[in-house]
Amino acid sequence: MTRAGTAMSSTSDTLTLHVPFRLIKRGGRKEIRVPDGSAEPPRKDDALVKALARAFRWKRMLEAGDFATLTDLARHEGVTPSFVTRILRLTLLAPDLVEAILDGKQGPKVTLAQGLEPFPLAWQLQGTHFSL
109-124 pLDDT, tens digit each: 788 998 999 999 999 9
For residue 2, pLDDT over 50 is answered with no
pLDDT band at 127 (very low <50, low <70, confident <90, very high): confident
Mean pLDDT of the chain: 84
CATH numbers and ranges of domains, the chain: 2-129 (1.10.10)
Amino acid at 119: F
What pLDDT score was predicted for residue 20?
77
Amino acid at 78: G
Choose between 48 and 2: higher pLDDT: 48
Q: How far apart are CA 88 and CA 51, in angstroms?
A: 9
Q: b/e string for 62-97 if b means 16 or more Cβ within 10 A?
A: beeeebeebeebbeebeeeeeebebbbbbeebbeeb
